[in-house]
């Protein structure tokens, strides 16, 4: 075995690229012509010779070099590649924010938030801040066991918030998988508890899809005795069937009544952050009935930005609760017909009663769809088809409201 004195006196003979001075067990000191000295351990893996650098002399003395060699041998005996193991450790050491659950969760959120809409980013952060951080914030994420996570999620279930419990579970899974990917956890524990969660079936928005019942609803809406703004919004909601938030936030600047077109900016659509910033606007052709209603409303709200402004503030639109309450007043509670449910109403009857192309319907609903050939459906095309569809739908609602003949579906 080499001594410290021997290491100090070791030299590279003139004319040689390097000199190797053996120590023991495959360990040797490599000396360059310039006088630098480095420790290496020579070993064999899969029949091939490899070597592992163990540091420079004199920073690493002979005793420390032998200990490093022994540690590497032990890793190799356990079936691990010592060189790769050290690379992994270096990568872990480069992780800036630590291995606590809070550190990993916040790092994951910061990484993903740029691609999310602001509302989605807020929801995801709320999922782990409210129900996971109080229990796991300072814990090393790799040490948290599945049973512990299950106990926390069951507390959410016990509040009766089954939908929230599943959202927390989903968020937790994303955080754990990020921890695995960045070397802070060995495995994702969430699959272990999936089967132990209470089942939850997402509720569909209540929607009337029977023609005769829909005719009754349209008649009730037209007889609504409330304010002009709410009455107009109620009449347009089933006719245009857009998402409630996008509909209530309609602005006069988005409307071209002469061209019978409503152009919803991408920023107001339900999309990813990139989709909001770089996506195309959503186009809604306006049937003649919608244009007439909007022209009647224009003298009342046209001086401001919003078509359906609130009573207390003209800078804010009417709330979803305003329309929900109006429907309730008419005898249509949230279990019978919701504002969002007008989308399902239109989707169903446009296909089943009017036999219209599902691709055109989905495009008008602002859904991402694919055509039969796998090409992304271009919402800016086939505007004539969509305009014709919207006019047929408005005429159909008029017919239902008048009690005209409609196709009845057989009960399942």
Which residues are annotated as catalytic? Answer: 243, 270, 340, 343, 367, 377
Residues 6 or more apart whose CB falls under 8 angstroms from that of 65 comprise 23, 27, 29, 39, 54, 55, 57
Contact between 226 and 213 under an 8 Å Cβ cutoff? The reply is no
Q: Which residue has the tokens 């095309």?
A: 381
Q: Tokens for 169?
A: 């579970």
- Which DSSP helix (H) or strand (E) runs through 38? strand 37-45
Q: Tell me how crowded residue 205 is: count the other CB atoms within 10 A of its CB.
A: 15
Q: Tell me how crowded residue 258 is: count the other CB atoms within 10 A of its CB.
A: 7
The pairing of strands 261-264 and 282-285 is: antiparallel
Helix axes 228-240, 383-401, angle to 10 degrees: 120
DSSP 165: H
Sheet-wide strand order for 255-256: 255-256, 261-264, 282-285
Helix axes 118-131, 101-113, angle to 10 degrees: 170
CA 361, CA 277: separation in Å to the nearest integer?
A: 25
Residues 6 or more apart whose CB falls under 8 angstroms from that of 23 comprise 1, 2, 29, 62, 65, 66
CA distances from 56 to 9, 22, 61, 274 (A): 15, 15, 8, 49
Q: Could you tell me the sign of the dihedral formed by the alpha carbons of 273, 261, 332, 308, in that order?
A: positive
Q: Tokens for 52?
A: 């592992």
């Amino acid at each position: 075995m080499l001594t410290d004195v021997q290491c100090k006196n070791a030299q590279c003979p003139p004319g040689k690229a390097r000199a190797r001075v053996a120590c023991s067990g495959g360990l040797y000191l490599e000396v360059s012509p310039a006088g630098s000295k480095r420790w290496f351990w020579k070993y064999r893996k899969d029949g091939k010779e490899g070597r592992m650098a163990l540091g420079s002399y004199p920073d690493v003395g002979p005793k420390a070099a032998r200990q490093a060699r022994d540690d590497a041998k032990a890793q190799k005996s356990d079936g691990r590649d010592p060189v790769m193991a050290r690379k992994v450790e270096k990568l872990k050491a480069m992780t800036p924010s630590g291995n606590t659950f809070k550190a990993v969760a916040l790092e994951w959120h910061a990484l993903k938030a740029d691609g999310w809409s602001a509302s989605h980013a807020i929801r995801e952060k709320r999922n782990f801040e409210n129900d996971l951080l109080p229990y796991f914030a300072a814990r090393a994420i790799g040490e948290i066991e599945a049973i512990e996570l299950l106990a926390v999620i069951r507390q959410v279930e016990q509040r009766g918030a089954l939908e929230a419990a599943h959202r927390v579970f989903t968020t937790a899974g994303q955080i754990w998988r990020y921890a695995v990917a960045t070397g802070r956890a060995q495995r994702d524990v969430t699959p272990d508890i999936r089967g132990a969660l209470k089942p939850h079936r997402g509720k569909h928005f209540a929607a009337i899809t029977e023609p005769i019942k829909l005719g009754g609803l349209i008649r009730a809406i037209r007889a609504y005795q409330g304010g002009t703004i709410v009455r107009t919004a109620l009449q347009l909601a089933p006719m245009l069937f857009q998402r409630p938030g996008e509909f209530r936030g309609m602005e006069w600047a988005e409307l071209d009544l002469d061209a019978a077109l409503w152009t919803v900016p991408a920023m107001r659509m339900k999309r990813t952050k990139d989709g909001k910033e770089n996506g195309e606007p959503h186009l809604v052709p306006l049937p003649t009935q919608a244009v007439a209603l909007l022209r009647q409303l224009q003298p009342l709200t046209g001086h401001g930005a919003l078509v359906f402004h609130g009573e207390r503030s003209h800078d804010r639109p009417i709330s979803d609760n305003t329309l929900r309450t109006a429907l309730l007043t008419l005898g249509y509670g949230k279990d019978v017909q919701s504002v969002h449910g007008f989308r399902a109403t239109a989707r169903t009857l446009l296909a089943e009663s009017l036999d219209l192309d599902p691709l055109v319907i989905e495009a008008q609903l602002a859904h991402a769809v694919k055509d039969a050939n796998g090409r992304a459906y271009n919402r800016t095309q086939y505007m004539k088809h969509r305009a014709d569809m919207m006019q047929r739908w408005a005429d159909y609602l008029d017919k239902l409201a008048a009690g005209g003949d409609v196709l009845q579906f057989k009960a399942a």
